[in-house]
Chains A and B, each alone.
Chain A
Amino acid sequence: MSTSTELGVLPARLPARFSFIRARDFPLIPLLILGIIAFVAVFADVLAPYDPEIGSLSARFHPPFWQAKGHIDHLLGTDHLGRDVLSRLIFGARVSMVVGFTAVIFAGVVGTTLGIISGYLGGWVDQLIMRVTDAWLALPALTFAIFLAAIVGPSEMNIVIILALVYWTRYARIVRGEVLSLKEREFVRLAIVAGCSKMTIMRRHILPNVVNSAIVLASLMLGVVIVAEASLSFLGIGVPPPKPAWGVMLSDGKQGLMVGYWWLTVLPGCCIMLMVLSANLLGDWLRVKLDPQLRQL
């Protein structure tokens, strides 16, 4: 039925620019949540009531203020070292944001570049890059990351490098596929006939056409990377304590879990969940908006 395919189109009554914000499927809430987390991350120094790394042992395991033994001084309670949970959550947002975004961007730049080179040049370069990609994709991401972390040891910078090393292959695979089909298109052939160098064609003609896919993939990877960082931190090989990463807080929270100090687990866990959920919703939306062909991801 060729007629049925034309249906889902909305009437073009909305003003063209920014009209997408009013569309029914616009992910306003996820964007707001990510915006708030970003805001908190930037202004953590101003917003946090306490130093996140220093606590007082006399104020250990305070519950949040609304509970019976809670105290208004520590709105969301304190942990096993008497550190303020709210302040740690606020600084934890910074860690997640910084690690998440830089790792996704690093991986994206490396993967997109290698994907373009591989797809456009073809031949042995393509074979080499793709075989490495295949081999690396065979390792479960988390296992690979743990292995690398075990070698280089924990630090925030190392985590970013590790996650970029683990995840660039995803971009390379997708981007290469796109480049292979772009290569056959008229405008690329024209550029070849016009005598553009390979470098110019890749930079000026191929790259702009794969950027959409890379962005969609990046938004989908953001959630994955944040969970990976939290997992590594939880296992004690990610962001090194006493730095307040949410994964580290969950790991610390285990100590109070069996006696029912729920806030040490539930609160950082919810922060991770909210951020990942928002990133995934945003990614899904971008995927449909920017690149309908990518639905299979």
Chain B
Amino acid sequence: MSNSTLSSVSSESRRPFALVANRPLLELRNLSTHYVSAQGTRVVRAVDDVTLSIDPGKTLGIVGESGSGKSTLALTILRVLPPAARIVSGQMLFEGEDLVRKSDAEMRQIRGKRIAMILQDPMASLNPLFTVGDQIAEMMRVHEGTARATAWRRAIDLLKSVRIASPHTRVTQHPHEMSGGMRQRIVGAIGISCEPRLLIADEPTTSLDLTIQAQYLNLLRDLQREHGLGLIFITHNLGIVAKMCDQLAVMYAGRVVESGPVSRIFNAPAHPYTAALLNSIPRMGANRQRLTAIDGQPPNLASLPGGCAFAPRCPQAFDRCRMEAPPSIALGDGQTARCWLAPAMAGTATRTGVQ
């Protein structure tokens, strides 16, 4: 049994494309990342028992309030966590390899080269003292041993591909000489410079104004199509999710409370929190019902209530919710939700079992 598995893995790696197509690009299984205080007295479950997967070339959107663990999840995947944070359990299978078990040196070769990330603040994420060309070329030089001149030429090409005008002059400029939108495109160029398989974008458009936002999203989509990139898109903007994503995961208090295909979740949210989020976005042309805000405060991760974390704010909570945290319930078509009412809310969906 184990022998045959091994041989199938090796044959997969020999003929990557044919067989890999139905294997997820990245699969997170029961992943938990906790912050532990210096005295070890306090534990914050920033990422708690997260199970997710993303297919090659597809886009996964992750939404949630600030502090819901979205960014920590992204940093966990790349294992660039603050000193106080620890991955305490779970697996991260990237193209079949478990990233949790990689050594630091192995991980360093994956970062930037096979999984790249775009940070949310374009003003702060470029080093003010080096030219943008240097900052783009640097990564190719480190990962691929590209010669200085070649890397520099490719940096110019990359600037072209992220649609920066007169790349030959821009490449020798420093970040402060450019606008925010331009800088974010440069960060994007750095992200794709080593042709990664997976790109994680952490709220890449929050600090850009609206027209630039749209341009940037189009750019990302084009890049994704050209390079066959898997894309994880972290945002709190459901409009962007509708436009960009195939799959959606909703995070609340460190947990994925609902996940599944975007179209399915938008039509039939199975978690009251998702439903509330969807209700809080204005829709053009739709019936002019009142927008509802979610009552109450986002939870304090250091002192979560027992039971479902959303229960204190949930209009439909009942006794069981406060006693017992619901497991992830599969609802068919790849939709799952952590809510006792999920089967009922998803309407026609039937409870097909607990994952």
Measuring CB to CB, which residues of chain A are less than 8 angstroms from any residue of chain B? 1-4, 6-11
Contacts and interface: CB of A to CB of B under 8 A. Distances in A.
B41 A3 contact: no
A7 B46 CA distance: 12
Contacts of B46: 1, 3
A7 B44 contact: yes
Interface in B62-104: 66-67, 71-72, 82, 84-85
Given A7-B35, A7-B42, A8-B37, A2 B66 contact: yes
Given A3-B302, A4-B85, 12 more contacts: A1-B35, A2-B66, A2-B67, A3-B44, A3-B67, A3-B72, A3-B301, A4-B44, A4-B82, A8-B37, A9-B42, A11-B41
A1 B38 contact: no
Contacts of B71: 1
12 contacts: A1-B71, A1-B82, A2-B66, A3-B35, A3-B46, A3-B72, A3-B301, A3-B302, A4-B44, A6-B302, A8-B38, A9-B37
B66 A7 contact: no
Contacts of B35: 1, 3-4, 7
B151 to A, nearest CB: 33
Interface in B143-196: none
B84 A7 contact: yes
A4 B36 CA distance: 9
Contacts of A4: 35, 44, 82, 84-85
A8 B41 CA distance: 10
Nearest to A24: B39
Q: Please list the 6 inter-chain residue pairs (A to B) with the smallest Cβ-Cβ separation, ordered nearest first.
A: A7-B37, A2-B67, A3-B44, A3-B301, A3-B46, A4-B35
Contacts, number: 36
Interface of B: 35, 37-39, 41-42, 44, 46, 66-67, 71-72, 82, 84-85, 300-302
B201 to A, nearest CB: 18
A6 B299 CA distance: 13
A107 B67 CA distance: 46
A9 to B, nearest CB: 8
Contacts of A6: 44, 300, 302
A1 B202 CA distance: 13
A10 B38 CA distance: 10
A11 B303 CA distance: 12
A11 B84 CA distance: 18
A1 B85 CA distance: 11
B67 to A, nearest CB: 5
A10 B37 CA distance: 9
A10 B82 CA distance: 20
A57 B30 CA distance: 85
Given A7-B35, A7-B37, A7-B84, A1 B72 contact: yes
B88 to A, nearest CB: 15
Nearest to B75: A1
Contacts of A3: 35, 44, 46, 67, 72, 301-302
A21 B67 CA distance: 34
Contacts of B67: 2-3
A3 B42 CA distance: 11
Contacts of A10: 39, 41
Contacts of A11: 41-42
A7 B45 CA distance: 12
Contacts of B66: 2
Contacts of B302: 3, 6
A7 B301 CA distance: 11
A104 B38 CA distance: 37
A4 B302 CA distance: 10
B50 to A, nearest CB: 15
Nearest to B302: A6
Contacts of A8: 37-38
A3 B299 CA distance: 11
A225 to B, nearest CB: 35
A7 B300 CA distance: 12
A3 to B, nearest CB: 5
A48 to B, nearest CB: 46
A3 B81 CA distance: 13
A53 B101 CA distance: 74
Contacts of B84: 4, 7
Nearest to A2: B67
Nearest to B39: A10
Contacts of B85: 4
Contacts of B37: 7-9
A13 to B, nearest CB: 10
A2 B67 CA distance: 6
Contacts of A1: 35, 46, 71-72, 82
